[in-house]
Amino acid sequence: MAASSKSSASSRSTRTRGASSSTGASQASTASETSRASTTAEALDTSSSKSTSTSKTASPSEVKKTDSATAAKTASPEKTTRARATKKTTAQKTTAQKVAAQKTTSATTKKAATRAATSKKTSATRSTAKRTSAAQKTAAKKPAQQATAQSSDPSVSEASQSTPGTPASGASATNVSEAKAAPTRQETTTVPAAPAVSTPDGSPAQQANTARNDAPIGMQVTTEGKEAPAPAATTKRSLRQNKKNPWDISEVERLTRIPITEIFPVIEDGLWPAKAVEGESFPVRATVFREGHDAFAAEVVLLDPQGQEVQRSRMKEVLIGLDRCEAWVKPVATGLWSFRIDSWSDPYETWAHSASVKVAAQTDVELVLEEGALLMERAAQGKAHNNPQQKAPSKEASALLHKAAQELRDTTKSSQARLSAGLHSNIRHIFRTHPLRDLLQSSRDYPVQVDRERALYGSWYEIFPRSHGAYQDEDGTWHTGTLRTAADSLPRIARMGFDVIYVTPIHPIGTTFRKGKNNSLVSAPQDPGSPYGIGSDQGGHEAIHPDLGTFDDFDAFVQRAKGLGMEVALDIALQCSPDHPWVKDHPDWFSQRADGSIAYAENPPKKYQDIYPLNFDNDPEGIYQAIWDVLELWINHGVTIFRVDNPHTKPVAFWQRLLKEMRYKHPNVLFLAEAFTRPAMMRTLGAVGFHQSYTYFAWRNTKEELEEYFQEVAHDTAHVMRPTFWPTTHDILTEIMVRGGFAAHVLRAVLAATGAPSWGIYSGYELIENVQRPGFEEGIDNEKYEFKPRDFSTPTAVAMETVLTRLNSARRKHPALQRLRNITIHPTTNPNIICYSRHVEAWESASGNSDTVIVVVNLDPNNFQSGLVNLDISELGLSWSVSGDGPVMRVRDELDGHDYAWGLSNYVEFAPYARMAHVFAVEPL
């Protein structure tokens, strides 16, 4: 990493009131004296506003009372200041010192005492220092009331501690001012400590704490008010924690010696953890630069939940010339991990560049070669500048470094041969694997929440249990399916490769305002109602609809699913029918309208008269506990995932609390947010704890829309929200699915299954159920309001099941399809054909082998399309060099098993109902 060619320097002009360095210098100019007098006036004005009396800190025998001193006690501070500013005699200067000494709590006294002790130029100045010390002891013994009146800004120091990432020795800090006065910023061990200022209770311990915080840099004040040297890092921490001056730099603000800025991934400056998954690598990026032209470097350090370093990855510049750097790290277990970035000066790369240029130009040859020899010896000994953490390399490496130093000094050889000894590949390897890190400092630690793999990768299948096994008699009477009959459908779903069975609500359904078919306001006697209208006299969210079975039946369903390799995801809809027990027992949990009625749910133009939304503001604690109890009940019955209905209609703060506590007590339980809403809400729900999120995928159809969205969810928002792609849901049926029929269902399934590691379909997808309810973007004869038994033995269902099975098989076979952040878009010559690839390196693959998949999809379900696919070979993980237009890889289509030989540019063609996509596994020829 090279240093930026531009360097900037900033300076802050010294304030007038803190600029003078000595009070006893007899050759001071009139302007300087006037400046000090003006500063004294400020302090006097502040002190006078708090107390009308002046403490005597010097005996009459030490200082003669003059008319000017008497006037200073009775006249206004402004008049006194102007009088002192116009008089230049030594006696008048002594008077100013006396007044400053008398005002023991003002910042001017501290400056006068500081200047008196450091200058020591005259006996009068030394006398002033003694008087200041006497004033400190006198002030410490004053009654609490008087001391309080004298104090303008009492404070108590916090516990001191060393600055993380900074050596304790040699650390510097900024000072803290009292009231408006700024102390002179200088490092010294001879400056007297500031007066001990009493706190309201006047306790000596608190006085000492205040004095310790106000002490100059590098000094410490004891409980007796005496000065004592203190470690600079400790003083710096104390001063920053008790920051009073607007120009003081806090620990959070502190830049590293080699600046590290614009760190990613970070959410709310590290208040909330970024997202990651065990076994999934993620990128860390930062802007790293330095002054001048010396080389520098940076590394990402990954820390496990115990704070132990488990990986260190060297950052590389990814935006050349912009100092934007990146490295990838991989957590290997769940928990709250963290990362930091280390930056340091790279003396070897600096020397290597300088030496190469100078030896070639025969400039300062002997000097630069000797510098190289010294550098080799320093590296062999493990001595880095301002970095006590540096360790020496192995004995073998140290021997090679010493040998290189000898050869660099061997004048019997040519300068180029001597230089080559320092640039040898063995030497470069040593500095690459065991760099000499001068000026090493670290950024803050930033949290990363690492979840189990199912939070990122999974194939979902949604069912309404009551439809599975439902049938209708010849007289029209309906018989509902049950949890037992629904369990009989699980083997077919598992054979298609789905590993999450998503169950819509199974609770009792209300009868008041129950909806009929297709969301009609009037229901027929046999209409089962919407399972989202939860609650009746048979129970609420903690109960199972009697028609579906009992908890024993549910437990059997869960066990059947687990035996087939599937987890159970239960739909949680935090809303109530008018018949829900909560409505009767807790009417304050709901919003009331002006006429006294409870407000039902609305999403204009949609109305849900059979649903009352909860009002989280009336009794938030009661609602929280009730919902927590509901979730724990279902967790105890084997539910490991919750699909949350409309979480964006509940307070985000509620979700933040619930999900944090849930992650602590049930770390393996996952939550999917069904929030088709504004981006800010979707991102924030993910940021506060939702493991997965529904997305806008269903409405992204054109090549440009898909390419942009794939990049967004993979690179821009992956640290905040994990996407789950659904081509359709029981609420969503888009226009392309209506117009495109079977071909559209194929292409959208391919895009969903390969565009994100987590995807899902709604039961009936196999049958191409694509007729919309007039005027709405949802299916006709919606299963939300009626029984919908299906025959999956039809040729259409069998054909679609084959596609779904092969897609899920490819996803299980290829680690590249199980990751989110590894997508690359490749150009094509046809706007209706999209191409992208996914690649994982061997070190981040569970199989230990690198893996690459190329996906090509025809986005037009109604017409023949053809064109060229132009591949970026560098993004495919191919290590060989490519020349010409010949084939360089073999690709096997996971959808039909056909093999092709591909190169840089490749011709493809697609026809509806014949072939709509390729999912290629890549192998080198």
Q: Which residues are catalytic?
A: 645, 674
CA-based nearest residue to 264, from 357, 170, 220, 327? 327
CA distance 235 to 869: 64
| Cα Rg, the chain, nearest whole Å | 38
CA distance 395 to 198: 59
**Angle separating helix axes 652-665 and 679-687, nearest 10 degrees:** 30
Calculated CA dihedral for residues 12, 17, 21, 26, nearest 10 degrees: 140
What one-character DSSP code corresponds to residue 189? S
Q: Give φ, ψ of 554 to 5 degrees.
A: -65, -45
The tokens for 544 are 């199972």
CA distances (Å), origin 736, targets 732, 766, 778, 857, 862 = 12, 16, 12, 15, 10
The tokens for 323 are 């100092």
The Cβ of residue 844 has, within 10 Å, a number of other Cβ atoms equal to 19
Q: How many helices (H) and strands (E) does the chain have?
A: 24, 34
CA distances (Å), origin 222, targets 137, 219, 229, 343, 921 = 13, 10, 10, 37, 72
Beta bridge partners of 869: 828, 906
Q: Return the SS3 of 918.
A: strand
Calculated CA dihedral for residues 898, 903, 907, 910, nearest 10 degrees: 40
CA distance 803 to 806: 5
CA distances (Å), origin 438, targets 344, 389, 390, 428, 444 = 6, 10, 9, 17, 19
Q: Return the SS3 of 491.
A: helix
The Cβ of residue 640 has, within 10 Å, a number of other Cβ atoms equal to 19
Cα-to-chain-centroid distance, residue 213: 33
CA distances (Å), origin 76, targets 110, 173, 652 = 22, 37, 58
The Cβ of residue 402 has, within 10 Å, a number of other Cβ atoms equal to 16
What one-character DSSP code corresponds to residue 828? B
The tokens for 561 are 């699913």
CA-based nearest residue to 331, from 299, 298, 308? 308
Is residue 429 within 8 A of residue 376, CB to CB? The reply is no
User: Tokens 């025809």 — which residue?
Assistant: 858
Cis omega (within 30 of 0) for bond into 229? no
CA distance 8 to 643: 52
Q: Return the SS3 of 697.
A: helix
Strand order across the beta sheet in which 282-288 lies: 260-264, 282-288, 324-329, 316-319
CA distance 864 to 270: 50
CA distance 772 to 728: 12
Calculated CA dihedral for residues 705, 711, 716, 718, nearest 10 degrees: 110
Cα-to-chain-centroid distance, residue 610: 41
The Cβ of residue 502 has, within 10 Å, a number of other Cβ atoms equal to 23
Is residue 542 within 8 A of residue 629, CB to CB? The reply is yes
Conformation bin of residue 329: beta by default, left when phi > 0, alpha when psi is -120 to 50 = beta
